[in-house]
Amino acid sequence: MFPKNTWYVACTPDEIEGKPLGRKVCNEAIVFYRQADGSPAAVEDFCPHRGAPLSLGYVSDGKLVCGYHGLEMGCDGKAVAMPGQRVRGFPCIKSYATVERHGFIWVWPGDKDQADPALIPDLHWAHDPEWAYGGGYYHVRCDYRLMIDNLMDLTHETYVHSTSIGQKEIDETPCTTKVEGDHVITSRFMNELPEAPPFWKLALRGHGLPDDQRVDRWQICHFNPPTHVMIEVGVALAGHGGYDAPADKKVYAIVVDFITPETETSHHYFWGMARHFKPQDPALTVAIREGQRKVFGEDLQMLERQQANLSTWPERKLLMLNIDAGGVQSRRVIDRVLAAERSASADRLAAASTAEMAK
């Protein structure tokens, strides 16, 4: 169960550089490629000739060519040409709305007509020279909602990430969750910590600040539908206002999490960090990215084994504690989005039926 009439991150630009990419999104098997004008395109990964996956083909002058018998597929799912053949009568395949923006390729796996690029979230940091971004990808074999739960409840850091970003104070400090429309916010402010955990010591040093002093630390998790989680994170030298401290007394960043359902029990996880300190330091970008890769890798076994347990005992109800409020509220938003999607679909069907009868 995932919203389909919405934008998801499909891939990063490097994944379609010079070749097509086959990737399943929301149970849709899609091939992504870059056209001659530079814009991305996305069609079903199924050649209408003999069913070969188009992603095994190649891109020539921005045209997608089947690697089996040379059928050239258009970005609208209609065959354009094939050696020695007239393709006009060939059956069409699905095409998908896709847009490149903010350093990602986005896809709308549902009804193409409803795809409005204005609905793609605005990522200000992606275009601001005072910010730098680095990130990566994991394929995760669990329901995308387990990943949202994970990111909206950071008390797990104390346990899963005890050697990097975890510290005892996280699960000792209460968090608060509030919901503003479809926006869920879970915040935790930890003040006067005796020291920063290892990852933030690295960041402090990177920003030219001492790493052995008392700090204030914050984690503000933002969920927005369908599945995006942005976490404002940082530490400030104690006594300077914490989250509101001036830029030269704190290190401030956003943990970026785009969670794209693949199937009911697997998803694509695009993780990264946008930081608001030392943006012109590519070595720091690499160091942070590799640190994150290790940290997020620690979650994978837990999430995949959790999924296995839940698949074994589908009837067992999970607890919903205060620390789980972020995930619980996010799931409620998703449920509302799904209900709205079903309702809109029923309305369109009814309207179509009325129009038909009026003829």
Site residues (vs a second copy, CB under 8 A): 29, 45-46, 48-53, 56-57, 65-70, 82-85, 90-91, 149, 153, 155-156, 158-160, 171-172, 174, 301-302, 305-306, 308-310, 312-313, 316-319, 321-324
* Helix (H), strand (E) at residue 78: none
Token pair, residue 277, equals 């300190």
Q: Between 320 and 340, whose beta carbon lies closer to a second copy? A: 320
What minimum distance in Å lies between the beta carbon of 74 and a second copy? 16
* CB contact set of 170 (below 8 Å; sequence gap of 6+): 154, 155, 157, 158, 188, 190, 219
DSSP three-state, residue 39: coil
68 or 138, CB closer to a second copy?
A: 68
Residue 26: closest CA among 346, 349, 341: 341
Nearest approach in angstroms of CB 95 to a second copy is: 16
Q: In angstroms, what is the minimal distance from the CB of 121 to a second copy? A: 28
Question: By C-beta, is 23 or 207 nearer to a second copy?
Answer: 23
Q: Please report which residue ranges of the chain form alpha helices under DSSP H.
A: 144-152, 157-160, 168-172, 198-206, 282-312, 325-358
Q: Residue 319 or 358: which CB sits closer to a second copy? A: 319
Token representation of residue 192: 């006067």
Min CB(213)–a second copy separation in Å: 26
Shortest distance in whole angstroms from residue 212 CB to a second copy: 26
C-beta closer to a second copy: residue 156 or 267:
156
Q: Which CB atom, from 170 or from 333, has the smaller least distance to a second copy?
A: 170
Encoded tokens for 100: 């490149």
| Structural tokens at position 129 | 């020279």
Q: Which residues contact 257 (CB under 8 A, 6 or more apart)?
A: 147, 151, 228, 229, 230, 231, 269, 270, 271
C-alpha span between 157 and 296 (Å, rounded):
10
Minimum CB–partner distance for residue 301 and a second copy (Å): 7
Q: Hey, what long-range contacts does 329-333 have (CB within 8 A, 24 or more apart)?
A: 329/152, 329/177, 329/179, 329/184, 329/223, 330/145, 330/148, 330/149, 330/152, 330/184, 330/223, 331/145, 331/148, 331/149, 333/179, 333/182, 333/184, 333/223, 333/225
Q: How far is the CB of 158 from a second copy (least distance, A)?
A: 6
**Residue closer to a second copy, measured from CB, 62 or 67:** 67
Q: How far is the CB of 267 from a second copy (least distance, A)?
A: 17
Report yes or no: 204 and 179 within 8 Å, Cβ to Cβ: no
In the complex with a second copy, the residue whose CB is nearer, 145 or 276, is 145
